[in-house]
Structure 1
């Protein structure tokens, strides 16, 4: 048996000294150009040519076609590049591309100017009367049973799921250098998907209207022009609820509405001046690689009319171009852009444009439900025109931001869901969200 020498703290550097002695005896490799060329020939069997002879060739046009990279464009932060594997050719005209990862810096005001949209008041009584007429009281539903299933759905989505992934790194603004312990749990996107699916299933169970169809994970691509600029909306939809009947419009007679509302033109002018001196294309990335003639709608049947679009907001994936925090106004504008993209792609896919007016013959209404798994925001867009330079405006209504619950977590080892809302009626969540969701599902 061999007895090792006991080493003390003053001997720790012995191995480092020995290591540097061994490494110092290595002979450096000759890195001349001739030896490198010989190594390339032997290892990779690459044919090496003199660059002077290559550029002295007569076919100079072929050489110019090979050089397709412009470093000036790459250095521009506002340029958004598509994956060139789609065989997208570089165009002469620049295009502003809006996708899922970015938001409008001007928020709702910028989206209203860009999409030629007039916003109704959140407390508009006509809209609220139409929506609240479809509440669950109309269908003789047991509230206790409905709210019990909703509370179970919340806890099941946020607490009981078995997914365990790395959660985003926590940062304290007052201590930016402090590293918090890494947390594992259910991802934000999965919480949103699970909760939305469960709430839709509850609405379907207690509803009498069974003519709805649900589409998951679709792609929308559409293009339009405004003020001599080309725009393209390339967005993903998480869930799209379709129906075989069109939704009733917010304003049935638009012309009569304009006559009754003499300040409508003033409101349009106010919308244009609300973001001055900015323009409506600010913060939208640009690219030269696109196909403006391409239109994508995920369903190939015109009878599946878009009814409600469910938009998930994941703060880990949606960022501002200027690296500032995403505001509530920007989240709402992102939903408005997705709603218009869905309707525009639907109209162009099935050629629902009147040839004489070169516009849609009748309004198309679509609803939206925006959520991050905790807050909910409901909106309705009435598309009167897809010609955004027309005098006719689209109509947009949105509710306030409503929290479904305040906290959903384990307290002292017990799953707990709490809400401070006034309308919880003894339940552990805000029942106003369910009233809106049930009304939107049964709206026709």
Structure 2
């Protein structure tokens, strides 16, 4: 077998060149054909004797008239080095330093870094939305450049895809970030933005003529010029400082000489009433991403070109000293993912004199690592908030001592934890505690909503009036305390309605979206079943139903249900006694007993009701003519809101006990009775052990004897282990002062479904799940 020789992609070109060289040296072999033809009397002719000489056609030069608006450039005597956006410095930063007579500082000045503060969570989310919109959610599509993979697939022609071009991504993202900054900083509205503008300036560099002809994606201007970053004395201290030596290379390497050029300068902004502020440069070449040194060199070149054009626009010359009023410009250079931020101060236009210009730079930052679709979902990974810095390192509301639930007239205490490495501008910090109820849903293209407020307290916990609106550096704890009013409803959460209690702290920072933090807590209304006369009422019901389906009539199904009372608390078991007799002539698929929660949402114009099962036990099928007896079957009551949601006027909660049998999709017989779920049990009631069902669900029904009945069990006290050991004793009213500490469980319905309130102004976090208590009364 002949083995195939493995050649790497980078060696294929050398292989072809070697093959062409060898084949090019080969001579035409003498086959003896001419001698054979001569022996037969056939004369071989030279092709030159037959073919006519090549026809020579003279080319005539035709002068075409210029297009309307086209500038005609006559050849100049002195050639000029023209630097445009295609220029790539071979010696990177040192080469551009020699061209611009600039000193490079490896960190931004303090006057710029002092204005950079950390973003709030809201600001970071808005930046992420801008990235997703620019890179994925833009509806504009065009055919993208052909993909080249010279390493893995050399010479392969990939299919050209449609998508968002890199140029549009960069422009869209920059524009949205600038729009976000204008919304955060009101003073930004006075600035002007010029898009896709050309700056051209011609200068002498010793005995050579050079022209900078560069185009910026955006130029941000301001009514006043930027202040000098360093003073004249510091600039003069740099006089005579040597520039880097790139010998034997020339500073003009990789730049062509041109004779057809225009000496007219072009100021990118085009107006003398506004001044340079920030230059935005976009690197839109997906095949040439560029290294960090390359980015820094081009940022320096652009910063110098725009500053020099601005200076010449206002009549400055190379003989003038600009240190008293230097030209300062900020430069933002990006390729879509990496961002290089720098600043340039023009102190002189003399490119070979002792005075030096100054360029401040820092390592580039990666805004994000990837932005793509994952499982058909727009996904942003590796977001870096340091790129767009607009604060406090830590700003958190802490409720301490923490309790799983709170009750009416109880005091809630805590503090706002703040940490910052440097002084932060802040007018004041306010804290608001409130309890609100909201309902909202959409039905038949109409939205219905209502809300009510149970209490609201606002306190200023820190004021910057006497500290020059500066919050000091370090770690701080600002305490707070407030009392929950009387007659407040229990916490509640569904997709269409909620009753929510929260503490929110907000820092008023001038020019910024205020820092904020929210802590949510659960409130339980003590619904004492002893105060409800219906709670002690027993349930004894019999029902016989003839089942019909598809115009056919079957025999009856007889149901009997007996329950000792209607009132229960979480942790109790509903003891079900009953019987189901199947005389229908068809097999009953299953029998069940379940607790159904019926929630009614109330607005001024409309009401909405929805039901959902919170707990269920079942038994398997019953054959025709057979009966199934339920004897002391336990149905656990899970953690749910107490009945009626007392003191809430827009949400009502009721519970039903449903005992029934199901034959098919449309054949069902059942008994439905109202039950009451409270917070404080009836005297003599028992609470199920902690090992009972802690969440709603479906379980197989089993009968228990009286010897197997759940025994009375005290709730665990603090320090007895388990996940409640860190809880402090809950302060209740004097009526329940001798009751042992209760147990606490989260509602069986998590707070994740927040279709109606996912973006409301509460900022309370959509994943909150209320907690509820249970007591055993002596």
- Taking structure 2 as the reference length, what is the TM-score of the superposition? 0.40
* Superposed structure 1 runs of 4+ greater than 6 Å apart: none
CA contact 1:188–1:314 (8 Å) conserved in 2: yes
Choose the corresponding residue for 1:228, options 201, 207, 212. 207
CA contact 2:320–2:348 (8 Å) conserved in 1: no
SS at match of 2:285: coil
Q: Does 1:414 align with 2:377?
A: yes
Choose the corresponding residue for 2:96, options 107, 111, 124. 111
Q: How many angstroms apart in 1 are the aligned matches of 2:225 and 2:305?
A: 17
Q: Does 1:158 align with 2:135?
A: yes
**1:130 equivalent in structure 2:** 111
Q: How many angstroms apart in 1 are the aligned matches of 2:388 and 2:291?
A: 24
**1:298 equivalent in structure 2:** 268
**1:346 equivalent in structure 2:** 310
Q: Does 1:358 align with 2:337?
A: no
Q: Does 1:147 align with 2:124?
A: yes
CA-CA distance at 1:336 after TM superposition: 1.5
With over 3 angstroms needed to count, the CA separation of the structure-2 counterparts of 1:106 and 1:180, relative to structure 1, is same
SS at match of 2:315: coil
**1:73 equivalent in structure 2:** none
Q: 1:6-64 CA distances to partner (integer Å, 9 max, x unpaired)? A: xxxxxxxxxxxxxxxxxxxxxxxxxx9xxx9xxxxxxxxxxxxx99xxxxxxxxxxx9x
With over 3 angstroms needed to count, the CA separation of the structure-2 counterparts of 1:183 and 1:156, relative to structure 1, is same
CA contact 2:235–2:356 (8 Å) conserved in 1: no
With over 3 angstroms needed to count, the CA separation of the structure-2 counterparts of 1:399 and 1:345, relative to structure 1, is same
SS at match of 1:377: strand
Q: How many angstroms apart in 1 are the aligned matches of 2:270 and 2:375?
A: 52
CA contact 1:103–1:331 (8 Å) conserved in 2: no
CA-CA distance at 1:155 after TM superposition: 0.3
Choose the corresponding residue for 2:293, options 323, 329, 334. 329
More helix by share: 1
Q: 1:273-308 CA distances to partner (integer Å, 9 max, x unpaired)? A: 1x111011111122110122x111133432311000
SS at match of 1:342: helix
Aligned residues: 330
CA-CA distance at 1:67 after TM superposition: 9.6
Q: Does 1:314 align with 2:288?
A: no
With over 3 angstroms needed to count, the CA separation of the structure-2 counterparts of 1:301 and 1:180, relative to structure 1, is closer
SS at match of 1:433: coil
CA contact 2:221–2:269 (8 Å) conserved in 1: no
Choose the corresponding residue for 2:331, options 350, 353, 368. 368
CA contact 1:359–1:387 (8 Å) conserved in 2: no
SS at match of 2:187: coil
CA-CA distance at 1:346 after TM superposition: 1.4
Q: What do you get for the CA RMSD once the two structures are aligned?
A: 2.9
Q: How many angstroms apart in 2 are the aligned matches of 1:98 and 1:145?
A: 42
SS at match of 2:228: coil
Choose the corresponding residue for 2:242, options 263, 268, 272. 268
* Highest RCO, 1 vs 2 (Cα 8 Å, sep ≥ 6): 1
With over 3 angstroms needed to count, the CA separation of the structure-2 counterparts of 1:256 and 1:152, relative to structure 1, is closer
Q: 1:254-282 CA distances to partner (integer Å, 9 max, x unpaired)? A: x34554x7xx74x524x1x1x11101111
Unaligned stretches of 5+ residues in structure 2: 1-51, 64-68, 391-510, 512-778
With over 3 angstroms needed to count, the CA separation of the structure-2 counterparts of 1:213 and 1:396, relative to structure 1, is same
CA-CA distance at 1:359 after TM superposition: 4.4
Q: 1:376-426 CA distances to partner (integer Å, 9 max, x unpaired)? A: 00010010001112110000011211110000000011100000xxxxxxx
Q: Does 1:120 align with 2:108?
A: no
Choose the corresponding residue for 1:219, options 198, 201, 212. 198
SS at match of 2:211: strand
Q: How many angstroms apart in 1 are the aligned matches of 2:235 and 2:274?
A: 29
Deviates more, 1:193-202 or 1:227-236: 227-236
Q: How many angstroms apart in 1 are the aligned matches of 2:353 and 2:361?
A: 23
SS at match of 1:370: strand
Q: Does 1:395 align with 2:372?
A: no
CA-CA distance at 1:224 after TM superposition: 0.5
Q: How many angstroms apart in 2 are the aligned matches of 1:257 and 1:236?
A: 29
Larger Rg: 2
Q: How many angstroms apart in 2 are the aligned matches of 1:177 and 1:290?
A: 39
Q: How many angstroms apart in 2 are the aligned matches of 1:349 and 1:241?
A: 17
**1:43 equivalent in structure 2:** none
Q: How many angstroms apart in 2 are the aligned matches of 1:381 and 1:249?
A: 10
CA-CA distance at 1:345 after TM superposition: 1.3
SS at match of 1:148: helix
CA-CA distance at 1:160 after TM superposition: 0.3
**2:185 equivalent in structure 1:** 207
Q: How many angstroms apart in 1 are the aligned matches of 2:91 and 2:368?
A: 29
**1:283 equivalent in structure 2:** 254
Q: How many angstroms apart in 2 are the aligned matches of 1:101 and 1:207?
A: 35
CA-CA distance at 1:331 after TM superposition: 2.5
SS at match of 1:432: coil
**2:638 equivalent in structure 1:** none
Q: 1:116-168 CA distances to partner (integer Å, 9 max, x unpaired)? A: 0000123x6xx1x322322356xxxx712211111110000000011221222
More strand by share: 2
Q: Does 1:382 align with 2:356?
A: no
CA contact 2:141–2:163 (8 Å) conserved in 1: yes
SS at match of 1:112: helix
**1:74 equivalent in structure 2:** none
Q: Does 1:252 align with 2:231?
A: yes
Q: How many angstroms apart in 1 are the aligned matches of 2:71 and 2:102?
A: 33
SS at match of 1:241: strand
CA contact 2:317–2:349 (8 Å) conserved in 1: no
SS at match of 1:114: helix
CA contact 1:88–1:290 (8 Å) conserved in 2: yes
Q: 1:153-196 CA distances to partner (integer Å, 9 max, x unpaired)? A: 00000000112212222222233123333221100000000000
With over 3 angstroms needed to count, the CA separation of the structure-2 counterparts of 1:316 and 1:135, relative to structure 1, is closer
CA contact 1:212–1:242 (8 Å) conserved in 2: yes
Q: How many angstroms apart in 2 are the aligned matches of 1:352 and 1:114?
A: 19
